[in-house]
Amino acid sequence: MMIVIMKAEATMREKSAVIARAEDFGCQVHLSEGKERTIIGVIGNGRVVDREQMERMPGVERVVPILKPFKLASREFKAEDTTFSLGDHVIGGGEIIVMAGPCSVESRTQIIETAIACKEAGAQILRGGAFKPRTSPYAFQGLGEEGLRYLAEAREITGMPVITEVMEPAMVPLVCEYADILQVGARNMQNYALLHAVGESQYPVLLKRGMSSLIEEWLMCAEYILSHGNTRVMLCERGIRTFETYTRNTFDINAIPVAKQLSHLPVVADPSHGTGKWEYVASAAKAGVAAGADGLIIEVHLHPELAMSDGAQSLKPEKFARLVREMRAIAQAVGRDILS
Ligand code: PEP
Ligand code: MN
């Protein structure tokens, strides 16, 4: 792959000519219209485009080959942070977005009451799983479409956009009917058919890092989604497998600045799955903010002891409210803020 950086004064006609040349060679073209200049990504799966020839075309400033295995996800392809609007909020724009809610949607009243509590505590987006990827086939698998309907009702009441997990390609259209953001879970990070389907949907996607995945593998999975022209992708660090068993996972704080350096995509921290124990969620969340996360996703339950999944890592609303206040102070200390 190479990127063609157009001159600031390049005309539409000149840009079109570059695109046509790349397409003549059987390449895929990805346009990125920046504030100052246009960058044209040329992915060669056809004949190899002659780089020097391309450089001589009118309006072209320079042509740079992208050497990293992930292309569209890389900072080389796009230097500026990716931002996009969701409801009244901008994701990736410097202010940190907070997503909160139960691990699973358990009932209509549960999700509505939790949504109201999370919003009051300072969250902007409601999370809740209707299709749950459980380790055991005998564990609660989620309410399915009924759960999606309750999520949509909670959105209606609170105005909060909804994020929920989708586990298989065939379910993408159904989940899109109810959700604002599609969550691809850690266990499905490398489910390539699912990545193609969520990419094609053009819905915003939160891509969780697989529990034993390299950062590079995670970015390659984002690349699958981006390759469909779906630019609204968020990366989510949710803890990885290590030799330590005291906590459920080891929250890889390093992954946040690394992903921010390698990629322009917003990075979200999940301190709930990252630690697996509610006592440590606040510490990991605050560390995530200090490390540069653009968002957080946190499990909140009205009665964690009764939760049908992940009760041990769920915060009660009062604790979550205090955490949001503390995160705001940390965000401000590093020149950012939490969305309000
Ligand atoms: C979840 O968000 O409830 C979940 C199942 O997360 P993960 O895919 O990170 O395990
Ligand atoms: Mn969970």
Question: What would the two tokens of residue 28 be?
Answer: 């895929």
Question: What would the two tokens of residue 134 be?
Answer: 């459980």
Atom index in ligand 1 nearest the CA of residue 103 equals 3
Give the domain-ending residue among 13, 34, 65. 65
**% of the chain residues with pLDDT over 90:** 93
Q: Determine the distance separating the centroid of ligand 2 and the alpha carbon of 160, expressed in angstroms.
A: 19
Nearest CA to ligand 1 atom 4: 185
Nearest CA to ligand 1 atom 6: 185
Average pLDDT over residues 37-47: 84
CATH number for the domain harbouring residue 17: 3.30.70.1140
Q: Is residue 292 included in any domain, yes or no?
A: yes
Atom index in ligand 1 nearest the CA of residue 188 equals 8
Q: How far is CA 171 from CA 145, 168, 198, in A?
A: 10, 6, 10
pLDDT digits over 20-33, tens only? 999 999 999 999 88
Asked if pLDDT for residue 102 goes beyond 70, the answer is: yes
State how far the Cα of 60 lies from the Cα of 40, in Å rounded to an integer: 10
Q: How far is CA 298 from the centre of its chain?
A: 14
| Residue 46 pLDDT class (50, 70, 90 cuts) | low
Nearest CA to ligand 1 atom 2: 103
State how far the Cα of 328 lies from the Cα of 96, in Å rounded to an integer: 9
Average pLDDT over residues 230-250: 98
State how far the Cα of 32 lies from the Cα of 80, in Å rounded to an integer: 10
Alpha-carbon dihedral angle through residues 173, 177, 180, 183, given to the nearest 10 degrees: -40
Report the residue among 270, 313, 315 best suited for mutation to probe ligand 1: largest number of ligand atoms under 8 A from its CB: 270
With beta carbons less than 8 A apart as the criterion, state whether 282 and 323 touch. yes
With beta carbons less than 8 A apart as the criterion, state whether 92 and 266 touch. yes
Average pLDDT over residues 217-238: 97
State how far the Cα of 274 lies from the Cα of 238, in Å rounded to an integer: 5
129 and 256 in a single domain? The answer is yes
Report the residue among 135, 165, 184, 221 best suited for mutation to probe ligand 1: largest number of ligand atoms under 8 A from its CB: 165
56 and 109 in a single domain? The answer is no
**Residue 172, Cβ density class (10 Å: 0-12 exposed, 13-18 middle, ≥19 buried):** buried
The mean of the pLDDT values for the chain is 96
94 and 29 in a single domain? The answer is no
Q: Is residue 78 included in any domain, yes or no?
A: no
State how far the Cα of 270 lies from the Cα of 211, in Å rounded to an integer: 12
State how far the Cα of 268 lies from the Cα of 291, in Å rounded to an integer: 11
pLDDT digits over 122-174, tens only? 999 999 999 999 999 999 999 999 999 999 999 999 999 999 999 999 999 99
Average pLDDT over residues 73-83: 94
Output phi, psi for 255, to 5 deg: -60, -25
Asked if pLDDT for residue 45 goes beyond 80, the answer is: no
Q: What's the confidence (pLDDT) of residue 35? A: 80
| Residue 287 pLDDT class (50, 70, 90 cuts) | very high
Q: What's the confidence (pLDDT) of residue 48? A: 78
Output phi, psi for 271, to 5 deg: -75, -15
186 and 296 in a single domain? The answer is yes
40 and 90 in a single domain? The answer is no
58 and 91 in a single domain? The answer is no
Strands 60-65 and 84-86, by their bridges, are unpaired
94 and 41 in a single domain? The answer is no
Closest to 233 in 3D by CA, of 32, 69, 84: 84
- Measured at the alpha carbon of residue 216, what is the angle toward residues 211 and 220, in degrees to the nearest 5? 95
Atom index in ligand 1 nearest the CA of residue 187 equals 8
Q: Is residue 131 included in any domain, yes or no?
A: yes
Average pLDDT over residues 231-246: 98
CATH number for the domain harbouring residue 255: 3.20.20.70
pLDDT digits over 301-320, tens only? 999 999 999 999 999 999 99
287 and 151 in a single domain? The answer is yes
Contact residues for 194 (Cβ-Cβ < 8 A; gap 6+): 166, 167, 168, 169, 172, 184, 188
Residue type at 105 in one-letter notation: V
Nearest CA to ligand 1 atom 10: 186
Contact residues for 223 (Cβ-Cβ < 8 A; gap 6+): 70, 71, 72, 73
Asked if pLDDT for residue 39 goes beyond 80, the answer is: yes
92 and 57 in a single domain? The answer is no
| Structural domain containing residue 20 | 2-65
With beta carbons less than 8 A apart as the criterion, state whether 63 and 31 touch. no
Q: Is residue 75 included in any domain, yes or no?
A: no
Instruction: Tell me, letter by letter, the H, E, C secondary structure of 154-217.
Output: HHHHHCCCEEEECCCHHHHHHHHHHCCEEEECHHHCCCHHHHHHHHHHCCCEEEECCCCCCHHH
23 and 129 in a single domain? The answer is no
Q: Is residue 70 included in any domain, yes or no?
A: no
Q: Is residue 156 included in any domain, yes or no?
A: yes
179 and 49 in a single domain? The answer is no
60 and 100 in a single domain? The answer is no
Q: Is residue 183 included in any domain, yes or no?
A: yes
How many domains is the chain partitioned into structurally? Answer: 2
Of 36-50, 72-86, 253-267, the least confident:
36-50
Question: What would the two tokens of residue 154 be?
Answer: 């909670």
Q: What's the confidence (pLDDT) of residue 1? A: 86
Asked if pLDDT for residue 47 goes beyond 90, the answer is: no
Atom index in ligand 1 nearest the CA of residue 309 equals 3
Q: Which ligand is nearest to the CA of 309?
A: 2
Q: Is residue 241 included in any domain, yes or no?
A: yes
Please state whether 202 falls in left (phi above 0), alpha (psi between -120 and 50) or beta: left
Q: Is the pTM of this model over 0.85?
A: yes
Residues having CB within 6 Å of any atom of ligand 1 = 103, 129, 133, 185-187, 208, 238, 273
Q: How many CA atoms lie within 13 A of 230 on its CB side?
A: 24
With beta carbons less than 8 A apart as the criterion, state whether 277 and 313 touch. yes
